[in-house]
Chain A
Amino acid sequence: MKQTIGFKLNGKKVTVAINGDESLLTVLREYLDNTGTKYSCGLGQCGACTVILNNQTAQSCITYVDTFENAEIITIEGLANNNELHPIQKAFVAHDALQCGFCTSGMIMNAYGLLLKNPNPSREEIISGMEGNLCRCGSYNNIVDAIESASEKMFKKI
């Protein structure tokens, strides 16, 4: 039996019919066509599917309805303001902090969550805060540089 549930996705209320045992990742990608969030391990071991849920990072592949119903969720699609990229996205572009791009959504969302908690992290805090996100192409150093520069820009604004 399908049940209809609702949550807020990138600032808009959405309702969706679910079986009840799907992961948030499946709901986002398959039911709501938000394919920017990626599947990679399905076990919460790599961070590719990271989204923001009620201002906290969440691995959407192991997040279920009891957590995401009525929650406020932000995905990579919701970060840019119209065509104006978010400062973290801008910094990832400027530092070319990506190669194949498949881990990039998760990296950016995790960085977003990290800066929500700690707007001015040290390099070590960035590294430990990002440790759970895997990049096989080896862009780690550029990603740390990008987050460092984004936090400087965002922090100065505040």
Chain B
Amino acid sequence: MEAEKINQLYFSDVNQPIRYDRRKFLKQLGRGIIVIFSLSELSLLQGWSQPTNARNEEIDFNAYLRVKEDGRVDCYTGKIEMGQGIITSLAQALAEELEVSIDMVDMVMGDTKLCPYDAGTWGSLTTRFADPVIRAAAAEAREILIEIASEKLSEPIGNLEAVNGSVFVKGNASKKIDYAALTKGKKIVRSLTKKPEIKKAKDFKIVGKSVISTDAVAKVTGRAKYSADIKLYGMAHASIVRPGIFGSKKIAVDASALKNFNGAQLIEDGDLVAVIHSESEVAAKAAQSIKITWEAPESKANTETIFKYFEDTITQSTVFEEGGDLEVGKQNSEKIVQADYHDGYKAHAAIETHCATCYFENDKLTIWASTQTPFGTQKELADTFKMPLEDVHVKQIFLGGGFGGKIYNLQAVEAAKIAKISGKPVQLVWTRREEFMYDRFRPAALLKIRSGVDSDGKLNLWEFDIYCAGTRGTKLFYNAPNNLTRFFNKNDVHPFGTGAWRAPGNNTTTFARESHIDATAHAIGQDPLEFRLKNLKDENMIATLKLAADTFGYHTPKKEGHGYGIALGEDAGTLVAIISEVRVDKSTGEVHPVKIVCAQDMGQVVNPHGATVQTEGGVTMGLGYALYEEIEFDGGMLKTRSFNNYPFTTFSKTPKITCVFMDKMDAAPQGGGEPAIICVGGSIANAVFDACGARVNRMPITPQRVLAAMPL
């Protein structure tokens, strides 16, 4: 799926999986038992996967697994592994239904030749939508194996059961046949004819158990391969000459100094100017010798003026949700609380920069690219070079972090263009400086809220205007009968590229909403926990908040200078409640996180350990956007250029984090990679207020902003 389309979806709530496209690749698979789904059959998995309208008469299908002749199982998914742990949790789901040990499962991920089409790994969609389909395929394969065993053992199907890679005659453990023997010499291709029997939670042996990441050994030994670890024979390293200001157009190129670099070759294609060389450092130095005259766009706003610029420039709005009558809400309110909230631009700052290694052979392109969207990259490349889709092969690879930033694949297009022009295999690794310019940053945003509350502490009024943060997760879960939520957006309002950043928009809107709920509670002298419990409408959210409060020990007395802060949110089907404790140094304004509890209602938890790692990781990353991270700029001139002026959470800034999940093993699994992060900003802001009385309405909550907001 194309990046721009993903952007639209990503900033809204994606509660349906994305349509599967047609793929033909069965012929490439060898022997064994192969389970495929056609589009129409996916509708058998009602409630799991979205039924689609096939556009033509051809049968579309996707292969999901193959039980090989040695009894091992290949699991095919277009998803990629970037640290979110699905290489483990999807294998767990498959192993559970197929009745094999997880060690027998080989994950084949994100390879456009081998794997079923996938819209990309983003939006916390994998566990919600890929997991059920893989489970169904595995359950179907198990039924096929039992059918074959029934013939071989001359036993009725009802007398047989599959356990740990073999089919047994019930009550007679000696009469059995293993999967390898059942599969040998066969090629059975099966698609769904009925909805397969999926196990109930009480029968789970692997799902719901904590499993250590199956890729951990490859990663601790340095053997795990990322896109820049691929080395091709005769490969050239590319270095691109960049302008100082984003969006600049090339006027003139002076490459006269290039002759000082033996073997360096100039590549020009429109505004793309690059140097290739067999050694990367020579390519980089040679690129620096090239002088380009650029025409830079005028600056329209900077780090401080951007919010007013939004308000002045974006006048069109769309109503997202409304109810009751705002005038009635105002009249019935004892107190009206009004405030603006601001959030700056944030970088993804994955430790791996964008990179790609590629080559053309017989007009076919093979590429290893650090991408969250292998099939989107494939299409983008095919479109760029006007090639048939099947002539572009995006290969399986590990990703060194994505967080939404690797949905966009400019580096893949650049690398392929350079390879095409030079006729050589090419590797392009963006420098950190390039990363801080061509990343698609999380957009800055302005949020305006007006709330009204009656003398009993019941919300009566909620008006929420959202500039540039989208509506994901903003469906009101507080009971405010008179409400209006609008979003304001405009193309090209940002001075540089923006895009999806882990739980897009939801970090920003949750910060604003939860800060404002807190401010409203304090305005009428109520405890923020009691106020929330009184005004929440969803029982599950109430239960999640109570779980967080109990785990945290909300009523434990605070130390001097410490504060507690709550934030609630909803993302990717998961309900989140975070309570943070911070210590604020009143003389410097520095905020020190002390303890954080995150409670989640995320439905079935496939891998409790993996879910904890994801949740804790989200909370840790979230402290960065809440307290430290901000891109400094003046128009397209990005002043933030390295980790030194883009601090984020480090070892010493990470508090004790406790993650607890509601016990819902028979429910459908919900999102896990993104949700927790949304509540960090709000809970920290509220804890800071509790600690020192400073209500900071702008993230990051820097020491200067705390001091400025401190009551006299």
Contacts and interface: CB of A to CB of B under 8 A. Distances in A.
B623 to A, nearest CB: 8
A42 interface: yes
B429 interface: yes
Interface in A3-56: 19, 21-23, 26, 29-30, 33-43, 45-46, 48
Interface in A77-109: 77, 79-80, 85, 89, 92-94, 96, 98-105, 108
B351 interface: yes
Given A137-B617, A140-B620, A101 B281 contact: no
Given A21-B281, A43-B644, A100-B401, A139 B617 contact: yes
A46 B643 contact: yes
Given A22-B281, A136-B403, A100 B654 contact: no
A102 B279 contact: no
A105 B222 contact: yes
A141 B656 contact: yes
Contact of B652 (A46, A128, A136, A138): A128
Contacts of B280: 26, 30
Contacts of A103: 351
Contacts of A41: 432, 642-643
B209 to A, nearest CB: 14
A136 to B, nearest CB: 5
Contact of B221 (A85, A94, A144): A85
* Interface SS majority for chain A: loop
B224 interface: yes
B618 A100 contact: no
Contacts of B198: none
Given A77-B222, A98-B213, A138 B651 contact: no
B289 to A, nearest CB: 14
A73 interface: no
A33 B657 contact: no
A96 B399 contact: no
A29 B427 CA distance: 13
Interface stretch (B77-85, B141-149, B526-534): B77-85
Interface in B603-625: 609-610, 613-614, 616-621
B339 interface: no
Contacts of A136: 348-351, 401, 403, 621, 648
Contacts of B643: 41, 43, 45-46, 134
Contacts of B349: 136
Given A99-B613, A127-B652, A139-B617, A19 B222 contact: no
A144 B654 CA distance: 11
B163 interface: no
Interface in A120-134: 127-128, 130-131, 133-134
B352 A40 contact: yes
Interface centre among A80, A85, A135 (most CB of B within 10 A): A135
Interface residues of A, number: 57
Interface in B212-263: 212-213, 215-226, 228-229, 231, 237
A158 to B, nearest CB: 22
A75 B642 CA distance: 25
A138 B619 contact: yes
B173 to A, nearest CB: 34
Interface string B323-353: 0000000000000000000000000111111
Nearest to A109: B222
B288 interface: no
B617 A102 contact: no
Contact of A96 (B213, B350, B642): B213
Contacts of B223: 36
A70 interface: no
A138 B644 contact: no
A142 interface: yes
Contacts, number: 168
A130 B620 CA distance: 16
A58 interface: no
A76 interface: yes
Contacts of B651: 127-128, 130-131, 133, 140, 143-144
Contacts of A140: 620, 649-651, 654
B551 interface: no
A98 B351 contact: no
A100 B644 contact: no
B282 to A, nearest CB: 7
A38 B609 contact: no
B17 interface: no
Given A138-B621, A140-B620, A43 B83 contact: no
B222 A36 contact: yes
B282 A46 contact: no
A40 B619 contact: no
Given A89-B221, A92-B216, A100 B398 contact: yes
B212 A96 contact: yes
Given A40-B352, A42-B432, A101 B654 contact: no
A75 B229 CA distance: 15
A17 B613 CA distance: 43
Given A46-B643, A92-B220, A38 B212 contact: no
A30 B621 CA distance: 32
A39 B228 contact: yes
Interface centre among A30, A130, A136 (most CB of B within 10 A): A136
B221 A80 contact: yes
B403 A131 contact: no
Contacts of B429: 39
Contacts of B616: 138, 141-142
B633 to A, nearest CB: 20
Contact of B351 (A21, A46, A80, A127): A46
Contacts of A102: 226, 350-352, 400-401
B479 interface: no
Given A127-B652, A137-B621, A30 B279 contact: yes
Nearest to B623: A138
Given A103-B351, A140-B620, A77 B221 contact: yes
A131 to B, nearest CB: 5
B640 interface: no
B431 interface: yes
A138 B220 contact: no
Nearest to B353: A40
B399 A100 contact: yes
Nearest to B398: A101
Nearest to A128: B652
Nearest to B431: A42
B351 A43 contact: no
Contacts of B649: 138, 140
Nearest to A75: B222
Contacts of B350: 100, 102, 136
A94 B432 contact: no
A101 B401 CA distance: 8
Nearest to B399: A100
Contacts of B620: 138-141
A101 B648 contact: no
Interface centre among A23, A93, A138, A143 (most CB of B within 10 A): A138
A89 B220 contact: yes
Interface of A: 19, 21-23, 26, 29-30, 33-43, 45-46, 48, 75-77, 79-80, 85, 89, 92-94, 96, 98-105, 108, 127-128, 130-131, 133-144
13 contacts: A35-B222, A39-B228, A40-B432, A41-B643, A42-B432, A76-B220, A92-B220, A96-B212, A99-B614, A102-B352, A134-B648, A136-B401, A136-B648
Q: Which 5 A-B pairs have the closest CB atoms?
A: A36-B222, A138-B620, A102-B400, A100-B83, A99-B83
Given A35-B225, A141-B656, 11 more contacts: A38-B226, A76-B221, A94-B212, A100-B350, A100-B352, A102-B351, A104-B220, A131-B650, A138-B617, A139-B617, A141-B620
